[in-house]
């Protein structure tokens, strides 16, 4: 069967919608956090963001005019169920109906994320993902979305980035609830994985025909040197960043040595119930969504301490990342980096895709995010983001090479459709194909050079692109 390759770009509700108190929407943990004194690194909010809530038609039109045939966005749980549970909110449902119908009108395939970082505040206060009760609550929310939108949405994402989100919430501590406890982190992530598996099974039980997957921030990991110590560090980094999510949602079980390591760390794992084994085994995904940004260099720990400090200032300064008893991350001084310390290495996507093919030969991949954030400034009304074009162009070419070498990739999404609120990095770290002039009243949209580059690239590669 020949199917269209998905060529698109992506956003998430809190990062672009705005309208934070409109349409009977409830408050999320991000609404509350952004308005609190804890939001002190880049103290801005997503109250208005890109005003996508009102300007979605313009955004989808521009996306379609840019040659893209797919749009990834997320649903705000708080628009569907303002307090997280209970009666469905018609106004919120109508908003997403309009959004989906607009996509279809422009022949744009919607790929919809159910959960992308923003949790209803009452559920957050009850412990959020640390509290097992959330699994049932999430499932109810997912059921409503499948019922309301499943007739038109054929690509679903259960959860975005269980790994990175929990690392920020409980590792770096720069996302709410702003704590530093890896023990709590693993617990929260476990419940996310459980909720995701349940949602996959539910989707099928309801008789839906589309594809449902999970989006995992995944990293090619290389050894700092050829010593056996480094080899061990690589395995631990694989467990920490990749396998604790990917094995669970693709193979339906946790790697044994991952569980061993958690025991060795002395954590209470009584929340892992034996009845969950079957849930994981049954709820494996139809495809794996990959958010691809950078690679990591793994090295043995220096001492036994853990050091987690994020660079949210874009000032080029990075502290050493180390997980005591696991591994630390090294740096290749010869590689180019962004001011946020992200290494630019497009060919690493080839290695990642080949690894995934080997580990999970029967599971197709969709690149659900790929992009680079930086300061962009208009020059005479235009944005010449040549560095972004180089980065994205490299990625697409290496993805193509991986496909030629047998990787089953079904789609590619640039992060992001337009500049959006970049969580704790605020608005200055821009990823968009379209620039947003936040100073203008109408939040003027200006296509960047990369927008036109992408249009040409899609045309050059064609919609079939080995599909």
Q: Is 138 or 415 the residue whose CB approaches ligand NOJ more closely?
A: 415
Catalogue the active-site residues.
161, 369
Among 369, 376, 385, 419, binds ligand NOJ (CB under 6 A): 369
Residue 340 makes contact with ligand NOJ by CB under 6 A: no
Nearest distance in Å: CB 174, ligand NOJ: 12
Question: CB–CB of 384/449 below 8 Å?
Answer: yes
Residue 422 makes contact with ligand NOJ by CB under 6 A: yes
Q: Is 93 or 159 the residue whose CB approaches ligand NOJ more closely?
A: 159
**Nearest residue to ligand NOJ on Cβ basis:** 12
Nearest distance in Å: CB 75, ligand NOJ: 14
Residue 9 makes contact with ligand NOJ by CB under 6 A: no
CA pair distance 334, 344, nearest whole angstrom: 11
Residue 376 makes contact with ligand NOJ by CB under 6 A: no
Task: Give ∠ CA 387-293-195 in degrees, rounded to 5.
Answer: 150
CA pair distance 85, 95, nearest whole angstrom: 19
Residue 169 makes contact with ligand NOJ by CB under 6 A: no
CA pair distance 159, 173, nearest whole angstrom: 20
Nearest distance in Å: CB 176, ligand NOJ: 15
Phi, psi (degrees; rounded to nearest 5) at 291: -95, 115
Taking residues 426 to 445 in sequence order and writing x for each that binds ligand NOJ by CB under 6 A, - otherwise, the string is: -----x--------------
Of 301, 358, 164, which Cα lies nearest the Cα of 244?
164
Helical (H) or strand (E) element with 113 = strand 109-115
CA pair distance 189, 372, nearest whole angstrom: 26
Residue 415 makes contact with ligand NOJ by CB under 6 A: yes
CA pair distance 168, 246, nearest whole angstrom: 19
Q: Is 240 or 431 the residue whose CB approaches ligand NOJ more closely?
A: 431
Residues 232-291 that bind ligand NOJ (CB under 6 A): 291
Q: Is 150 or 176 the residue whose CB approaches ligand NOJ more closely?
A: 176
From the number of C-beta atoms within 10 Å of its C-beta (0-12, 13-18, 19+), residue 326 rates as buried
Residue 161 makes contact with ligand NOJ by CB under 6 A: yes
Q: Is 115 or 465 the residue whose CB approaches ligand NOJ more closely?
A: 115
> Residue 207: which residues within 8 A CB-CB, separation 6 or more?
none
Nearest distance in Å: CB 395, ligand NOJ: 14
Of 159, 160, 251, 143, which Cα lies nearest the Cα of 207?
143
Residue 74 makes contact with ligand NOJ by CB under 6 A: no
- In eight-state DSSP terms, residue 385 is -
Q: Are strands 445-447 and 434-436 parallel, antiparallel or unpaired?
A: antiparallel
Residue 102 makes contact with ligand NOJ by CB under 6 A: no
Residue 17 makes contact with ligand NOJ by CB under 6 A: no
Tell me which stretch binds ligand NOJ (CB under 6 A): 149-157, 381-389, 415-423, 457-465.
415-423
The contact set with ligand NOJ (CB under 6 A) reads: 12, 15, 160-161, 291, 369, 415, 422-423, 431
């Amino acid at each position: 069967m020949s199917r269209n390759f998905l060529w698109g770009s992506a956003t998430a509700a809190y990062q672009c919608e705005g309208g934070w108190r409109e349409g009977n929407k409830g408050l999320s943990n991000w609404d509350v956090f952004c308005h609190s004194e804890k939001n002190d690194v880049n103290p801005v909010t997503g109250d208005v963001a890109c005003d996508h809530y009102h300007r979605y038609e313009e955004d989808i039109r521009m996306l379609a005019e840019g040659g893209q045939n797919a749009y990834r966005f997320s649903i705000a749980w708080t628009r569907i169920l303002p307090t997280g549970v209970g009666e469905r909110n018609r106004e919120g449902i109508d908003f997403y109906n309009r959004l989906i119908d607009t996509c279809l009108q422009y022949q744009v395939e919607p790929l919809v994320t159910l959960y992308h970082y923003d949790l209803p505040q009452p559920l957050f206060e009850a412990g959020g993902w640390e509290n097992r009760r959330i699994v049932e609550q999430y499932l109810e929310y997912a059921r409503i979305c499948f019922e309301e939108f499943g007739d038109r949405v054929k690509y679903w994402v259960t959860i975005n980035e269980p790994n990175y989100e929990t690392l920020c919430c409980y590792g770096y501590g720069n996302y709410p609830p702003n704590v530093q406890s890896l023990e709590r982190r693993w617990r929260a992530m476990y419940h996310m994985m459980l909720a995701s598996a349940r949602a996959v099974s539910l989707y099928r039980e309801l008789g839906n025909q589309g594809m449902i997957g999970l989006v995992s921030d995944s990293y090619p990991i290389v050894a700092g040197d050829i010593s056996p110590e480094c080899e061990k560090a690589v395995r631990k980094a694989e467990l920490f960043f990749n396998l604790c999510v990917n094995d669970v949602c693709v193979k339906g079980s946790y790697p044994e040595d991952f569980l061993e390591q958690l025991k060795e760390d002395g954590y209470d794992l009584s929340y892992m119930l034996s009845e969950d084994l079957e849930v994981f085994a049954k709820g494996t995904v139809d495809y794996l969504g990959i958010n691809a940004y950078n690679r990591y260099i793994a090295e043995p720990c220096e001492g036994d301490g853990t050091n987690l400090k994020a660079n949210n200032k874009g000032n080029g300064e990075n502290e050493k990342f180390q997980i005591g008893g696991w591994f630390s991350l090294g740096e290749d001084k010869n590689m180019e980096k962004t001011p946020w310390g992200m290494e630019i290495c497009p060919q690493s996507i080839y290695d990642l895709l080949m690894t995934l093919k080997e580990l999970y030969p029967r599971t197709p991949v969709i690149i659900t995010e790929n992009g680079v954030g930086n300061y962009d400034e208009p020059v005479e009304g235009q944005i010449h983001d040549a560095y972004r074009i180089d980065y994205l162009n490299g990625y697409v070419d290496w993805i193509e090479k991986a496909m030629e070498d047998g990787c089953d990739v079904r789609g590619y999404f640039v992060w992001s459709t337009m500049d959006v609120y970049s969580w704790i990095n605020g608005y200055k770290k821009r990823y968009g194909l379209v620039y947003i002039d936040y100073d203008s009243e109408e939040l003027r949209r200006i296509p960047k050079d990369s927008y036109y580059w992408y249009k040409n690239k899609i045309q050059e590669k064609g919609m079939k692109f080995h599909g």
